[in-house]
A and B are shown apart, each in its own frame.
Chain A
Amino acid sequence: QVQLVESGGGVVQPGTSLRLSCVGSGFTFSSYTLHWVRQAPGKGLEWVAVISHDGSTEYYSDSVKGRFTLSRDDSKSTMYLQMNSLRAEDTAVYYCASPPRVVALWGQGTQVTVSS
């Protein structure tokens, strides 16, 4: 089954860290550029970051630049989002996703709540 599955979300305090994972299956993971997109409560979709298929290039939104870091381990078909210095405004459902083509892969999302 072709899918992306996120994990690692939870409830954390402001200023702390969390690492999200996105595991792919049913396709050649190493061929795919992958993105993170989030949706805060009551808000729309917000792009977060992207990592190239070979892990050589990353881009981040201004809202997370310097705090979040992407990496990938193609031997495990897994992409990671290391989130540091978390803020209340980072509270959201985080999705990993592939670019829109004939088929676009999106995970079901993982909830991150930053609260004291």
Chain B
Amino acid sequence: EIVLTQSPGTLSLSPGERATLSCRASETVSAIYMAWYQHKPGQAPRLLIYGASSRATGIPDRFSGSGSGTDFTLTISRLEPEDFAVYYCQRYRFSRWTFGQGTKVEIK
């Protein structure tokens, strides 16, 4: 069973700074099956990126995804106040979804 490991666990940054979040898979994953979500307390998770690099509808272009093989990255080019949240990578197949343990992006 595939395992997704996200790093760092917590990222302390200031508004305006660049955030780089990593997701490493325990085995090679097809990029078309990788996604990223933003999750805030009391809210539903929000899809940001699917297919490793495609932005979902309505997602600002400061969010970008990249990667292949076992290493995937979510980049937030300039943090806005509303971007402070927990981020999860996901490997999705019809038969099973796997999530990383999450990276918390907090205000420094």
* Partner-B contacts on A (CB < 8 A): 33, 35, 37, 44-47, 50, 52, 57, 59, 61, 95, 97, 99-104, 106-109
Contact = CB atoms under 8 A, between A and B. Distances in A.
Given A37-B97, A45-B90, A109-B44, 8 more contacts: A37-B99, A44-B88, A50-B96, A61-B96, A99-B92, A102-B57, A104-B50, A108-B43
Contacts, number: 64
Contacts of B67: none
Nearest to B90: A100
Interface string B40-69: 000111110010001011000000000000
Contact of B56 (A35, A44, A103): A103
A59 B99 contact: no
Interface of B: 35, 37, 39, 43-47, 50, 54, 56-57, 86, 88, 90, 92, 94-102
Nearest to A37: B97
15 contacts: A33-B94, A44-B88, A44-B99, A44-B101, A44-B102, A45-B45, A47-B97, A50-B95, A57-B94, A61-B96, A99-B92, A102-B50, A106-B45, A106-B46, A108-B44
Top 10 closest pairs, chain A to chain B, by CB: A104-B47, A106-B44, A47-B97, A100-B50, A100-B35, A45-B99, A59-B95, A44-B102, A103-B57, A44-B101
